[in-house]
Every structure is written in structure tokens, then in C-alpha cells.
A and B are shown apart, each in its own frame.
Chain A
């Protein structure tokens, strides 16, 4: 049944349907609405047999979840940006220990400069941690992915991160269908932990492993993620059978068959990409899109198959590796290494900058004529950067660059003459 719901509230309802037993909350925008809603459900006993813990930090939140999951409790938390970085040591640890749990990452840029708006620099910072990372294109996808995430996490005994765009999705209100309790209960089997802190059968969890077996233990983590590449489509199919809705999976194609140009993206920007594809198709251009839902494990084979054999691929990434370029593009390039395909990367939407249809279409129009730089920063104001570089050359003590750039743009009050 469709209801007008905020993305965060809908995700909270979906998580509650999964009957979590321990939920941790530490405030950071833009994930707060999710845990607020869950906290209320625990308090008014809508969500029973669940401990809701207000912790002292994100590092504490992830650590509480490690203890809870190892004690056999279905565990959940949500975070964003700096919060994810603050818990990073424990994020790696949860994956290394192979503890199932689900975390929503309401994607937000990482500072400095501090910025609360959406991009994927947070998700990318932990892409090698051993967590499974799923990206939601829409709020409906976010709802469905959370339910599938618990299933997947417990099935393969690895933590799963559901990435949904901060504000763009978390705070957007739209008609959504949250599956009912009966469906979720049918879909989600009870949590049977692979390892358990149990006085009846004591085990030691998390002891040291030396060079004699470290490679094997780490490879096992990789093997489990590869197994997830098989499980994810199965879990998605099962969800579709019960809900009648296609969601999840590894990759999704849109008008991609036999296209000369394929545009690849993740998350909510896929909507804008598909609009651009429609417009360009209308003007007779052979173009299609692919959305990557599962980013870790990276679906090399599924992506290669979905891409087919176009002339070129354009990767739209909402994050980048400073000094290198797009992270997503590096992975896509590996998937397509044997194909003779021209690759273009567009870094877009950093720190919440809107990825407008006009800019995207202009950019893609250039790409289809192979008239695009290999690495493009969408809507980058090159002049303002050049001017700051000049200032830095002119003075050793040019001051905080971010302030200089904003002053230059005229977004801050100009200095009164003679004050310097």
C-alpha cells in the first residue's frame, strides 16, 4: 500500500519490521531521522524485545553492535560522513570478525571543508573494509534493500551497509510502499549466528592470527563476498516473489541494449541519468544507462555482461580519489579491461551540488561525440580555482583557501576597503 512517507521514516519502519534486537544511535545529519523514528518505536513498544542505546560516539555505536551481534542479537545502526570515519576501526573489525549487522549510511561528504550534503566520499572511504555495500537509487529501493540486507548479512555472516543519499533521499517525501509485517516475517528467517558468546559453549572470538594463516582468513572474507555475488540476485528474486517488486540485485540496465554509449552511475543520480538518456534517445542518440546496486562485492562479470560492447562508457561518480580520479571508474575499467571501449569519467554532485539535467545532458552530448575530457568535474568553476592558485603563488600566507574561494565568489560579505 502506497503511503506518503519521508525516506528516513520509511526506512525506519522497514528496519523495525525486521525485528532488530539492538539499535545504536549517535546523532549525525542526515541519518538522524531514521534512528529517531526507531527510538520512538522502541519507546512506545511498537518495536518489542529491542534495546535502543544512545551511545557516546559512532565508535561506541559500532562497538556495541559488535558485542550485540556476537551475542546473537540482530543489530542495526545508522551513520553518515564523519561518523563513519570515526567508527572506521570498528567497521573493519566487524567485517573481519564476520559479524552480521546492518547499517544505513546516509551518504554525506567528508570534510574539510565541513559539509553536510550528499556525496559518496564516506562510502568510498570504507569500500575496502569487508562490508557489503548496496546503493539505493530511490527511497523505495532503500526500503526494500534494508529488508534484503538483513537476510543477506545473516546468510553469509558479513555486515551490510545500505547507502542512501543524504537529504536527496533521506529527507525526501514521496509515495512509498513499506511491506507489511507478515511479508517480512515470511521473507526473513530467524538469525542463527555462526559464532556466539555463550557460557554453555565458550569460544574465543577475535584472537590474533599471524602470517601462517592471515592470508587464508582474509581470502575467506573475499570468498564470502564472492558468494554474496550469487546470493544477492537470489535474495532479490525471493523478495520479488513475495512483494511483487523488483529491487536489489547486482546491476540494473536501462535502455542499454545495443547502445553506443552506456552511462554508469550509483544511487539517486541514476534517476537524472535516465532522464538524460530518454531525452538523448528522443534526439536519436543511441545511449543507455546502468545502475550499480551492489558496489561491494563489485559485480565485475555482471557489469561486463550488462555493458555489452558499446563504443564508450561514461561513469558518473559522486566521489573521487584525490590525486587519482574516480574510484567507481577504476573498478569499471577493470571490469571492461578486455573490451575496446573508450572510458570517460564525470565527477559530479560533490558536497551536495545539484546534478542538473541540463549539465548532465551537455556533458553526455559531448561524450557521444568523443569530445569529452577523460576526467571531467561537472560544473567546475575553473576560474575560481585558478584565482586561488594565483593567490597562493603571490603570498606564502594566503590564508584559508575555502574562505578565499567563497569570498571570491561573493557569497560572503566583501571586505571594507582599507581594512586589510
Chain B
């Protein structure tokens, strides 16, 4: 959490407030001051649930996890969307005492969780068509309002195509009316379900089936695309947040926080897609983390159109590390290195860093009060 962030009624846990950085200077060991801790997964910043107090553990680590999206589905190995959806919806269930209804756009998430007679959904779930998840959500919310059921809450969800392209009309309408719906976009930056075609969320230079890595300017064009979280913020809705599947505590925190508001809310989750991105399934989390640590994907939250918090980059890495893990960018390195393009991507990432203030003064996380608290708690157990 950034310094000076407005306090919110929510006090959930976040993964990224725990720092695993090895400090160059060992803090003083006194009973009242916390000391830096090292975790066994150095560099990953992940922390096992058993190291945290029960309320701060992930929903997933508890025996009461609801498995909104349960086993048996047909997602690819390493699917970021499947992971993101389960965490997001389970968190939404925890926040609402399991009273949620979900509207789903057409896409991977819809397809791999069904077809009839099988379904992985353990929540009431409806799929209508590709472009209308937000409006179907509005309809569910309206029906619940008419019936006086304010205990049941509504989530609408879609991939990036169903959000930023074909679904943007209904989504903008839902935002503008401030309907009581949480819309979750699982952004894998192209139309993966139909075979990896470009969407309005595909980044520049990325290879897709309709922006092939051929010709004089291989990959997706520069100067196109849209930033949906900012478009959502422009509607001045109560809550907008971005998250990745690398920081699941943060994701859960944001979903639960979103559920603490009434009205239109938007959470945009970056979900790497091994199939479409040409990445190793085992690298899904790593790539998601690098998206944030490079500055390519700014992780932040906003209330009523104003940014209220950013997840700082812990140790900034060059975009190359992110790009090299994905075949959709292979043409930037083979047969010859395209420094000009790589530099342009770096400039975009650096622009995000400046724009959202993703670095602390010294490029490191500024420990907040919460950080200290958790560090103090963990101090006795580790190191």
C-alpha cells in the first residue's frame, strides 16, 4: 500500500505487503522493532498461508474454500484465467457469505468450465452471448433489487475481447448507471478461444494469428489498443483495480474490497495464456509477476476515478526478461535482435512507472505500517 493512501474500511490481507527482499543492512534487533525476514522462496515474494494469521491467509488455503470453479474443467495446463477466476470468485463468495450470481461472456472461461451436462460452476451461473455479460449482470441486479434481495450480489465476467471490444457498450452502460455489479476482466491480451486473434487489449509488437510475425513490422501495430481500467475510471465508478495472478493475496484483497462497495466496480486481472503467448505452463505465475515488475502491467486501485493505491515494483527488471519467456515476442530476438522495438516497449513500461508512481524513492518498497506489523509477526518464526 502506498504511503498516504486514504484509509479504507477494509482491512484484509495482501501478499505484496510482505517483503522478501534481503536487506543490505540488518535491522536492529530489539523486542519492539520488526526485522526483515527471508522466505525460503527467495525472489518470489510468495508466502505460505501457514505463516500468516488465519484471517490473513488466502481463501484458498482454508478448509472453507468454496471452489466456485471446481475441478474437472478443461482449461489448458498453466491457464492463468482458470486460476484467476477461481481465486476471484472464491474471494467474492467469502465476501458475500457465498451469495453470488455470475454472468459469463462467451470465451475460454465459458467453454472450458462446461459443456453440458458437465459444469465446474458451483455458483449460480449464466452464459448468454459474447458481448452482453455486463448487461445480463445489470438485469440480475435489477431483478434482485426489485425483489428486495440486497444480500445476493452479482459478478459479471469476460475475457479481454468480451470486455474491451465486443462487450464495451454494455459494460460502459453498466458503469454509467452505476449498477450494483462487479465486472471482472480476465485479460490474456487476445482472442484465445477462437485461436489467438488480436483484440483491443493486445500489446504492440505481440504476435497473434491476425498480427503475424511477418513483414516489415511484425506483430501487433503500435499506437493502437485501449486501457480499460482507465476507461472504467473515467466513469468515476466506486472502485477500479488491476491485479495479476502472481499476487493472489492482492487479487483476493481487491475482490473483497470491491465487494465492500455498492454500485459498479471493475477488476482487471492479467492472466497469462501459455497457448496464446507461447510460454511454458510452469511460467504463468512468473510471467505475470514480470509483467508487474517490469512496469508493463501497472497494478493499482482507484476509487471514484482517482488512484488510491499502487503496488510498487519491488525490484525493477528490464522488459526483455518478460519478453524472452514468450514466443509471441520471439521475432524481437530472432533471427536478429530488434533493439528499436524492445526499447520502445521499455519506454512504454517506464512511462507506466512514471505515470502510476510504481517505484519508491529509492526504487524499493517503502514499508508501510501494515508491512511492519506483518514483518514483526513473522520475525520470530523465520530467519
Contact = CB atoms under 8 A, between A and B. Distances in A.
A21 B140 CA distance: 11
B124 A199 contact: yes
B135 A63 contact: yes
Interface in B108-136: 110-111, 114-116, 119, 121-129, 131-132, 135-136
Given A70-B139, A197-B126, 8 more contacts: A59-B170, A60-B135, A60-B173, A63-B132, A66-B139, A67-B135, A71-B101, A93-B128
B146 interface: yes
21 contacts: A21-B147, A53-B138, A53-B177, A55-B138, A56-B172, A59-B131, A60-B135, A60-B170, A63-B135, A63-B138, A67-B139, A67-B141, A69-B139, A75-B143, A97-B128, A201-B124, A204-B119, A205-B125, A206-B126, A206-B127, A213-B116
Contact of A56 (B128, B136, B142, B169): B169
B264 to A, nearest CB: 13
A75 B136 CA distance: 13
Contact of A90 (B98, B132, B169): B132
A71 B143 contact: yes
B274 to A, nearest CB: 23
Contacts of A67: 103, 126, 128, 135-143
Interface string A77-102: 00000000000011001000100000
A54 B128 contact: no
A21 B124 contact: no
B115 A210 contact: yes
Report the interface size class on chain A: 35 or more
A93 B132 CA distance: 11
Nearest to B131: A59
B111 A73 contact: no
Interface string A29-56: 0000000000000000000011101111
B142 A204 contact: no
Given A66-B136, A206-B127, A207-B114, A21 B103 contact: no
B170 A198 contact: no
B129 A204 contact: no
A13 B144 CA distance: 24
Which residue, of A22, A50, A51, A207, has the highest number of chain B Cβ atoms within 10 A? Answer: A207
Interface in B137-164: 137-148, 152
Nearest to A55: B173
Contacts of B114: 204, 207-208
Contacts of A72: 143, 147
Given A64-B138, A204-B119, A207-B114, A50 B126 contact: no
Contacts of A201: 124
B142 A207 contact: no
A207 B137 CA distance: 17
Contact of A53 (B103, B142, B147): B142
A149 interface: no
Contacts of B136: 63-64, 66-67, 70
B115 A51 contact: no
Nearest to B152: A199
A264 B175 CA distance: 48
A55 B99 CA distance: 26
Interface in A209-249: 209-210, 213
Contacts of B110: 207-208
B100 interface: yes
A270 B121 CA distance: 51
Interface of A: 21-22, 49-51, 53-57, 59-60, 63-73, 75, 89-90, 93, 97, 196-199, 201-210, 213
Contacts of B173: 55-57, 60
A22 B145 CA distance: 9
B99 A204 contact: no
Given A67-B103, A197-B126, A207 B116 contact: yes
Contact of B116 (A69, A196, A199, A208): A208
Nearest to B146: A21
Contacts of A70: 126, 136, 139-140
B303 interface: no
Q: 9 nearest interchain CB pairs?
A: A67-B139, A56-B173, A63-B135, A207-B114, A71-B143, A73-B143, A63-B132, A208-B115, A64-B139
A49 B135 CA distance: 20
B371 interface: no
Contact of A22 (B125, B126, B146): B146
Nearest to A57: B169
A206 B128 contact: yes
Contact of A207 (B127, B129, B138, B139): B127
A90 B129 contact: yes
Which residue, of A53, A55, A64, has the highest number of chain B Cβ atoms within 10 A? Answer: A64
Contacts of A57: 169-170, 173
Nearest to B149: A71
A103 to B, nearest CB: 14
A201 B152 CA distance: 13
B43 to A, nearest CB: 40
Given A67-B137, A97-B128, A199-B152, A54 B122 contact: no
B176 interface: yes
Given A60-B132, A63-B170, A204-B121, A73 B146 contact: yes
Contacts of B121: 202, 204
Contacts of B115: 207-210
Which residue, of B101, B116, B124, B141, has the highest number of chain A Cβ atoms within 10 A? Answer: B124
B124 A66 contact: no
